[in-house]
Amino acid sequence: MKIGPGKPVATILAILMLVLPGTLSAANWRGIDIIVTTNDGRQFRGELIAVKSDSLVLLDADRKDLSVLVAEIKNIRIRRRSKAFQGLLYGFLAGAVGGAIWGGTSADEEWGVAGGAFLGGLYIAPPASLLGLVAGMGAGLDDETDLAGLPERELDRIMAKLSRQSREPEAYTPPSRIPTAGEPRMGPVPSRYERTRFRLTWMPGNRIGRPGYSFGQEDIAFRFVGDLPPSESGPYPSVLYMGGGLPRFSLGHITLTYAWSGQLAVEAELFVPRRFAVSRSGDLRFTSTLDGQEYGAFFGSYEVLRSTSLLVGLSFRPALPAFLLPHSVELGLAAGPAWIGWTGSDAYSYLSSSSWTDSRTMTTWTARGRMSYDYYFNPALSMGAFAEYRWIRAHVSSYSRTEILSFRGASDLSATLTRTIEVSFPERTAFLGGFACGLRFGLSF
């Protein structure tokens, strides 16, 4: 059984990511612990017992009831306890169970269902535990909002949300507000979530859809270089077998976003995926016109493609985060240049006798579409998941390489020929994009 990151792994982690924050931040049977700061600087801390139409009722540390008028409140801070251990435990359980199911269903005859389930759980549980730990730590962060200057509709929303997390949620009745003719209207004060204009996001992701490693073959031609009869020089057709592909996992997504408005933002993204490596190897065979014997020699080549993309685009958030409303959905499109670096070398370049290397750079264009979900622990920190499609192609032009090879006779191994060959590789196009999904960790400022 071969265990490797793939679509089931990404799916398990994404589901875990979406479930944990809401689970870890759910209110207990008791009311939440809050700190209320009034306009004159006084602070009151206690359990939120009830939300009235014009006041908040708290139970302080001395078990005394406190009533604070909403009109006198400057800001409210929700105090949360760290849920790191809970997150670690939930992550471990989800990873172990999900990994066991994946491993058991994909196991071969060598390992069996039980062995595959054990290895799958062992493989998925550690990263899932780490993810749960991060989510639990985030769910334990305090959140804060300013009430002074908020529009009435937003104030009513916050009061209704607070009421659902109080000990007596049924006690709240929204106040009836009658507009007064000629009353001056003040502009709404931006919330703490709206004041953060920049957001730095790191997105580790996993490519899905195409196999991570593939095999194939390629038709090439070689000829001999040197003082030989024209009939002996070639060219000779041959076949090389290829093995390689795109790595599935990447840590290379970093995005900086600037919010033009509440819903529209401009973003710049740096994407540096892991390298794309392909090996080619096979026997080069020919029949000599000098003695009529067939000769063959092993030949190999190793190629690496590296890419760095810088994209600029727009993102739209139809659902914005707010105090006690931590969910956000984002749609984004971006495009920009991609710099491709190609390097070719001998198949066994670690040997001192290997001397051939070649490299070149090229520039192409890339584009990306993405849909994201973020859970905001507070105005500064968020965590979420994304799914995207990325288009990027690298065109590698044809090239030739020379090497000295020792050919042995097919029927008489003692017969050898040492000659310099030139191998011609055809041009080709490598697709470096595709579908991907992963996690998002954001810092707003």
Q: Report the CATH number at residue 269.
A: 2.40.160.20
Q: At what angle do helices 7-24 and 84-106 cross, to 10 degrees?
A: 150
Residue 177's pLDDT is 61
Same domain, yes or no: 239 and 329: yes
Encode pLDDT of 294-336 as tens digits. 888 888 888 888 999 999 999 999 988 888 889 999 999 999 9
CATH code (residue 55): 2.30.30.100
* Whole-prediction pTM: 0.74
Residue 35's pLDDT is 93
CA distance 49 to 108: 57
The more confidently predicted of residues 240 and 175 is 240
Mean of pLDDT over the chain: 82
CA distance 236 to 344: 22
Residue 211's pLDDT is 54
Per-residue buried b or exposed e for 235-270, using 16+ beta carbons within 10 Å of the residue's own CB: eeebebebebbbebbbebbebebebeeeeebebebe
CA distance 253 to 78: 32
CA distance 209 to 436: 8
Length of the chain: 445
Is the pLDDT at 2 greater than 70, yes or no?
no
Is the pLDDT at 9 greater than 80, yes or no?
no
Instruction: Provide mean pLDDT across the span 369-395.
Output: 93
Same domain, yes or no: 223 and 360: yes
Is the pLDDT at 350 greater than 50, yes or no?
no
The residues, ordered by sequence, that sit 6+ positions from 310 with a Cβ below 8 Å of its Cβ are 268, 269, 270, 271, 336, 337, 338
Dihedral, CA atoms, 95, 98, 104, 107, nearest 10 degrees? -70
Same domain, yes or no: 119 and 209: no
Residue 4's pLDDT is 47
Cis check for the bond before 188: say yes or no (omega within 30 of 0).
no
pLDDT band at 24; cut points 50, 70, 90? very low
CA distance 234 to 422: 10
Domain end marker among 175, 203, 224: 175
Residue 110's pLDDT is 72
Is the pLDDT at 210 greater than 80, yes or no?
no
Same domain, yes or no: 384 and 422: yes
CA distance 62 to 420: 92
186 lies in some domain: no
Of 254-258, 264-268, 346-350, 387-391, least confident by mean pLDDT is 346-350
Q: Which domain holds residue 423?
A: 195-444
Same domain, yes or no: 151 and 217: no
Same domain, yes or no: 167 and 208: no
Residue 292's pLDDT is 84
Domain end marker among 144, 175, 206: 175
pLDDT band at 148; cut points 50, 70, 90? confident
| Total structural domains within the chain | 2
Same domain, yes or no: 168 and 218: no
Is the pLDDT at 255 greater than 90, yes or no?
yes
CA distance 242 to 253: 29
The more confidently predicted of residues 256 and 5 is 256
Residue with tokens 């994209």: 311
Encode pLDDT of 109-134 as tens digits. 677 777 878 887 887 888 888 888 88
Is the pLDDT at 284 greater than 80, yes or no?
yes
Same domain, yes or no: 325 and 372: yes
Encode pLDDT of 57-84 as tens digits. 999 888 888 899 998 999 999 998 888 8
Is the pLDDT at 13 greater than 80, yes or no?
no
**Most confident segment among 153-157, 385-389, 426-430:** 385-389
Report yes or no: 123 and 105 within 8 Å, Cβ to Cβ: no
Same domain, yes or no: 56 and 106: yes
Same domain, yes or no: 251 and 321: yes
Instruction: Provide mean pLDDT across the span 12-21.
Output: 51
CA distance 10 to 277: 23
Same domain, yes or no: 224 and 139: no
Same domain, yes or no: 200 and 171: no
Instruction: Provide mean pLDDT across the span 36-43.
Output: 92
Is the pLDDT at 410 greater than 90, yes or no?
no
The residues, ordered by sequence, that sit 6+ positions from 89 with a Cβ below 8 Å of its Cβ are 132
219 lies in some domain: yes
